Amino acid sequence: MFSEQAAPTAQGLLAPPSAEPPTFPRVPVSGYSDCSQPFQLGERSFSRQYAHIYAVRLTGMRPRLERRARSRWGNDIALRKLSELQAGEKCCVVGTLFKSMQLQPSILQEISEEHNLVPQPPLPKYIQPSDELILEDELQRIKLEGAIDVQRLVTGTILAVYGSEQDDGRFLVEDHCFADLPPPLPWNGPSSDRFVLLASGLGLGSVSGEALLSTQLLVDVVTGQLGAEGEQSCAAHITRVILAGNLLSQNTQSRDTINKAKYLTKKTQAASVEAVKILDEILLQLCTSVPVDVMPGEFDPTNYTLPQQPLHCCMLPLASAYATLRLVTNPYQANLDGVRFLGTSGQNISDIFKYSSMDDYLEILEWTLLAGHISPTAPDTLGCYPFYKSDPFILTECPHVYFCGNAPHFQSKLLQGKEGQRVLLVTVPDFSATQTACLINLRDLTCQPITFSGFGADSED
């Protein structure tokens, strides 16, 4: 999109100095409203059990699932609870899935001394052929078998299964369905080209500095310093930059201070301090020119449990002075110029990746949308706050742009729903590894990756 508009004046700057060059005003933000209030936690109390969150999730999603079940299998099917099941009767049951996996890291196993087990090293995937699926509702649980893909599903999903109970106490599944896409939101998108830049995984503070030039190039393109006039005028249409997590690299997570003796680590700073300073400078450069939303990620200094709270502004003294900086939660939801954005920094998707046979981040992203829940594996394998009143991760409205950060590659897809939903799914790649960010055009919901590169000692092209 940039290129076509910019092409005519591409070579314009290969010329002697001309008259006063033009400055382009940044396209002003017409409509922005932050909708991530459900993800902001006020006072937190961790003294509650996590069972409440499952109960709330089930009650929250049950009506939708029952509607879907009726529309799929007929209006007259029997909807039963597990306690009302009769052997041999074809009925539909709505419940929470639980996948019992042998390889799943369990804290009880680790601390059990009789077994003398070494703590299990983290594996890329924990699935095994011997995993089993169990359906639970408010009171009972039952093993599932049949036409259901055990490997693909993960714990915590709410689904409806259609089948009958066998004599041996298992439920034979003939068909199952999820909540499907939530009801669509009205479209109020802009009529002219407006872009939003999505980037994640800046990875500052890492030992290697190759990505630093690319990060600087990214900042330069967005702030309009790089490129010929055509490109600069296109860059002026970038209305927002969203940094989706992992602003600091994994290297800053040095846990040495816990293991080393205090007298050795007294004078050393945590690696993240230096990294946050660099981040502050980069954000300052961006904030002087474009509104920025900063989401925390897995390696950022904020709480570990989902929903992650915004980074504290005292860490970014230089950039916080600007009103264009917004520190937001992970997951993040907002209305930008009439387009609803919803996204996470990728922890939910990568967690599902570990416990499911699905390999493609885009596929997993689509699946969470169809399942109606942002992160079903929380709180089982992903840290989560013990909600008890309502589960904020249930998707109640269909966003227009649904993204996840820190994916291995860039992928995007426009999903069309039955009720007229149009969702752009974007997996934002890790910038420190791929030097790629995403440009989303709000007018027609298209997405283009933008790659930066310098030249290294080895001239690869």
Partner 1 sequence: VTYKWLSFTLGVHVNQAKQMLYDYVERKRKENSGAQLHVTYLVAGNLHQNGHVCHKVAVVREDKLEAMKSKLSTIASVHVYSIQKALLKDSSPLYNTDYDIVKSNLQHCSKFSAIHCAAAVPRTPPDTPRAPAPAQSPQSQRDPDTASVVNGHGPPAARAPPQQHRGIMGMFAAKAASKPQDTPKETKAEAKEAPGVSAASSKPPIKNNIMNNFFGKAAMNKLKANSVPEQPKEEKEVVKPSVSVAEPESSPNAVAEKPGKKTESARIQQKDKKSKTKRADRSDDEEERDPENVKKKRKRIKQLQSDSSDEEDVPLSPTPEEERAPSPPPVPALKTELEPACTEGSAAGRKRKRKRVLKSKMFIDEEEGCMGESG
Where in 152-211 is the site for partner 1 (CB under 8 A)?
Answer: 209
Neighbours of 326 (CB within 10 A): 18
CB of 407 to partner 1, least distance (A): 14
For residue 119, whether the previous peptide bond is cis, meaning omega lies within 30 degrees of 0, is no
Neighbours of 27 (CB within 10 A): 18
CA-based nearest residue to 2, from 212, 229, 262: 229
CB of 294 to partner 1, least distance (A): 15
Q: Does 21 bind partner 1 (CB under 8 A)?
A: yes
CA-based nearest residue to 290, from 244, 250, 344, 243: 243
* Stretch binding partner 1 (CB under 8 A), from 112-120, 125-133, 283-291, 374-382: 283-291
* Stretch binding partner 1 (CB under 8 A), from 8-16, 134-142, 301-309, 365-373: 8-16
* Stretch binding partner 1 (CB under 8 A), from 14-22, 132-140, 151-159, 387-395: 14-22
Q: Which amino acid is at 367?
A: W
Q: Which of 77, 226, 370, 433 binds partner 1 (CB under 8 A)?
A: 226
Please say which residue, 41 or 415, places its beta carbon nearer to partner 1. Answer: 415
Q: Does 216 bind partner 1 (CB under 8 A)?
A: yes
Q: Which amino acid is at 410?
A: F
* Stretch binding partner 1 (CB under 8 A), from 77-85, 223-231, 332-340, 391-399: 223-231
Q: Does 46 bind partner 1 (CB under 8 A)?
A: no
* Stretch binding partner 1 (CB under 8 A), from 3-11, 138-146, 394-402, 422-430: 3-11
- Interface with partner 1 in residues 390-409 (CB under 8 A): 409
Q: Which of 229, 360, 363, 397 binds partner 1 (CB under 8 A)?
A: 229
Strands 158-165 and 422-429: unpaired
CA-based nearest residue to 82, from 144, 150, 175, 151: 144
C-beta of residue 205 within 8 angstroms of C-beta of residue 249: yes
Q: Does 227 bind partner 1 (CB under 8 A)?
A: yes
CB of 159 to partner 1, least distance (A): 33
CA-based nearest residue to 450, from 273, 267, 196, 266: 196
Place of tokens 């290697």: 208
- Interface with partner 1 in residues 319-348 (CB under 8 A): 321-324
CA of 440: how far to CAs of 306, 402, 403, in Å?
Answer: 26, 11, 11
Q: Which of 77, 134, 185, 228 binds partner 1 (CB under 8 A)?
A: 228
How many angstroms separate the CA atoms of 340 and 331, rounded? 13
Q: Which of 206, 249, 272, 285 binds partner 1 (CB under 8 A)?
A: 285
For residue 331, whether the previous peptide bond is cis, meaning omega lies within 30 degrees of 0, is yes
Q: Does 45 bind partner 1 (CB under 8 A)?
A: no
Please say which residue, 21 or 169, places its beta carbon nearer to partner 1. Answer: 21
- Interface with partner 1 in residues 291-310 (CB under 8 A): 291
- Residues 421-460: x/- map of binding to partner 1 (CB under 8 A)? ---------------x--x--------xxxxxxxxxx-x-
Q: Which of 181, 217, 374, 426 binds partner 1 (CB under 8 A)?
A: 217
C-beta of residue 333 within 8 angstroms of C-beta of residue 35: yes
CB of 274 to partner 1, least distance (A): 14
- Interface with partner 1 in residues 22-41 (CB under 8 A): 22-26, 28-29
Strands 32-34 and 171-177: unpaired
Q: Which of 82, 244, 284, 378 binds partner 1 (CB under 8 A)?
A: 284
Place of tokens 């639980």: 98
Count of residues near partner 1 by CB under 8 A: 75
Tokens of 364: 């997993």
Q: Does 414 bind partner 1 (CB under 8 A)?
A: no
How many angstroms separate the CA atoms of 89 and 72, rounded? 18
Q: Does 80 bind partner 1 (CB under 8 A)?
A: no
For 175, the 3-state DSSP assignment is strand
- Interface with partner 1 in residues 114-153 (CB under 8 A): none
C-beta of residue 405 within 8 angstroms of C-beta of residue 246: yes
Please say which residue, 17 or 122, places its beta carbon nearer to partner 1. Answer: 17
How many angstroms separate the CA atoms of 351 and 154, rounded? 10
CB of 168 to partner 1, least distance (A): 49
- C-alpha torsion 263→267→271→274, nearest 10: 170
CA of 240: how far to CAs of 189, 191, 237, 333, 447, in Å?
Answer: 15, 17, 9, 14, 14
- Residues 236-275: x/- map of binding to partner 1 (CB under 8 A)? x---------------------------------------
CB of 214 to partner 1, least distance (A): 9
